[in-house]
Amino acid sequence: MKKNVKKYLSILLTVVLMASLMTACGKKPAVKETAQETAQETTQSTSEDTAAADTSSEPAATQEAAAPNPVTLTTVSMFGGTDPNAGNYQAINDQFMKDYSYITLEDDSQSSDQDWKTKIAADFAVGNEPDVIQYFTDANASDVLAADKFVTIEEIKAAYPDYAKDTLDTALQAASNPDGVQRAVPTTGYWEGLFCNKDLFDQYSLELPTDWDKMTKAIETFKANGIVPIAVSLNNVPHYWVEFLMLSAAGPEGYATVPTEAPEDWVKGLSMFKTLRDMGAFPEDTDTIDNDLAGELFKNKQAAMQLDGSWYAGGIPDQDKTVVVAFPTIPGGKAPAGAMVGGISSGFYITKKAWEDPDKKDAAVKFVMAHTNKESVTKYWGGNGQAACAVEPIANMTSLGISGLDYSSAATSISAPTDSRISQEAYNTLISGIVGVSTGDVDPADLLNEVLSVNASKK
């Protein structure tokens, strides 16, 4: 009996022990899972605390920028007086001061006559130059350029890469100064061409003067019918005829070269003044009338043709029956059909005075960009001349405007006028001798040799 009791107790103890072991084994996974969760929670909590600490140590993401210092910018342009773009210039200035309320403009724009040019040169000589100026880029700027007070476009673009971003590379190149350096950002260029009252040509069944034979026939026909063939003042503004006759005779390359002695081709070109005068091509009082009166002859249909620039187109009353054609090549001339006088002779400069002032520096850049972006250039261009940016044709262009655009777009070559290559005194000598050349009293070779001699003495 005792043996059986001991046997049963042994079995019972074994069962209890096994049950205890099984219970312990069943709890181990639960303990392990809880430890993992605790570790994850601790890591997450630490990360959140760290993130919170990092956020609290950062400066505010958006801080209000400090307001710019007030700036007064002195500006000068040639868009003054009766210039057709004076209104556009002022409107852009007004908008500029609204866009940049901290900038005040003190502007002194005037018509670019000789007195104005003399004043500008004097201002630069004595240190009274403005911060920004729109001025000549060719030989007309020689006195001002000699003062060495302009910043180059290369230097400006190094600090402001978007400067002149809308301006065509060809326009910047055309606006280079005589030393080849680019300092000015242009708005528009110009072309010169032969304006014709087409209704007068139609009235006498004449073809437009696209070659010299047609030009000769037109001169003879108009002269016979009491109409002035060519409106021009030889004593006041014979400039356009000087340019085209020399270009036509010498061709673009020969015309652009400045020799030391009178080239045969230049002599041939100027000799045409006497040929045309003998044909009766000019007004009878061409030696005494001024350019304004010559222009009125053309506008009033008393003259059939007039050589002038793109700026002249806007003032012509008859925009529907006036056209522009290429100057015909003279007999024996070397210029190809479509050779044109034109170019870009002005642009906006920033002076070193403004560039070296941190506040004015930025304001000056903004000012020039406001006047030379595509939108502003389109306003200045207005369908006339050459735009320095790739503008779209405007919707309200007149027939004359379209004719001028077609003419200038079809040019086979574009040559700058003579006064962009020789000194002002030499050029004045050339212009003053044209009446004598036309009458035969002055030999064109002698005149040209005198001009070149004067030019050489000024170098």
* CB-based contact 196:209 (threshold 8 Å): yes
- Domains of the chain as residue ranges with CATH: 71-185+345-387 (3.40.190.10), 193-341+418-457 (3.40.190.10)
Give percent of the chain above pLDDT 70: 85
Q: What distance in Å separates the CA atoms of residue 189 and residue 132, rounded to the nearest whole number?
A: 20
Task: Kindly give the pairing relationship between strand 188-197 and strand 322-325.
Answer: antiparallel
DSSP state of 190: E
- Helix or strand or coil: residue 327? coil
Q: What distance in Å separates the CA atoms of residue 280 and residue 24, rounded to the nearest whole number?
A: 131
pLDDT of residue 186: 95
Q: What distance in Å separates the CA atoms of residue 46 and residue 35, rounded to the nearest whole number?
A: 16
- Helix or strand or coil: residue 322? strand
Q: Which of 76-85, 314-323, 408-417 has the highest mean pLDDT?
A: 314-323
Q: Buried b vs exposed e over 74-90: b needs ≥16 C-beta within 10 Å?
A: bbbbbbbeebebbebbe
Q: pLDDT class for 99, splitting at 50, 70, 90?
A: very high
pLDDT of residue 393: 76
Average pLDDT over residues 92-109: 97
* CB-based contact 209:326 (threshold 8 Å): no
* DSSP structure string for 18-60: HHHHHHHHHHHHHHHHHHHHHHHHHHHHHHHHHHHHHHHHSPP
Q: What distance in Å separates the CA atoms of residue 274 and residue 438, rounded to the nearest whole number?
A: 4
Q: pLDDT class for 65, splitting at 50, 70, 90?
A: low
Q: What is the dihedral of CA 270, 273, 278, 284, to 10 degrees?
A: -160
- Tokens (6 digits) for 361: 């520096």
Q: What is the pLDDT of residues 402-429, one digit of tens each?
A: 898 888 878 888 888 998 889 889 999 9
- Tokens (6 digits) for 44: 């997450």
CB neighbours of residue 181 within 10 Å:
13
Q: Which of 253-257, 296-300, 408-412 has the lowest average pLDDT?
A: 408-412
Whether the predicted model's global pTM rises above the 0.85 cut: no
Closest CA to 220 of 299, 275, 270, 272: 275
> Given a cut of 80, is residue 2 above it in pLDDT?
no
Q: What distance in Å separates the CA atoms of residue 421 and residue 376, rounded to the nearest whole number?
A: 30
456 vs 35, 51, 235, 428, 429, CA distance in Å? 100, 78, 25, 14, 13
24 vs 18, 38, 341, CA distance in Å? 10, 21, 107
Average pLDDT over residues 245-258: 95
Q: What distance in Å separates the CA atoms of residue 182 and residue 174, rounded to the nearest whole number?
A: 9
Q: What is the pLDDT of residues 129-186, one digit of tens each?
A: 999 999 999 878 988 999 999 999 999 999 999 999 999 887 888 889 989 899 999 9
- Tokens (6 digits) for 140: 């007309």
Q: What are the start-end ranges of the H helices in 109-166?
A: 114-125, 142-145, 153-159
Q: pLDDT class for 41, splitting at 50, 70, 90?
A: very low
Q: What is the mean pLDDT of the chain?
A: 86
Q: What distance in Å separates the CA atoms of residue 459 and residue 454, rounded to the nearest whole number?
A: 9
Average pLDDT over residues 25-33: 38
Q: Which long-range contacts (CB under 8 A, 24 or more apart) does 292-300 make?
A: 293/233, 294/231, 294/232, 294/233, 294/236, 294/237, 295/231, 297/228, 297/231, 298/195, 298/197, 298/231
- Tokens (6 digits) for 307: 């050589």
CB neighbours of residue 67 within 10 Å:
8
* CB-based contact 89:79 (threshold 8 Å): yes
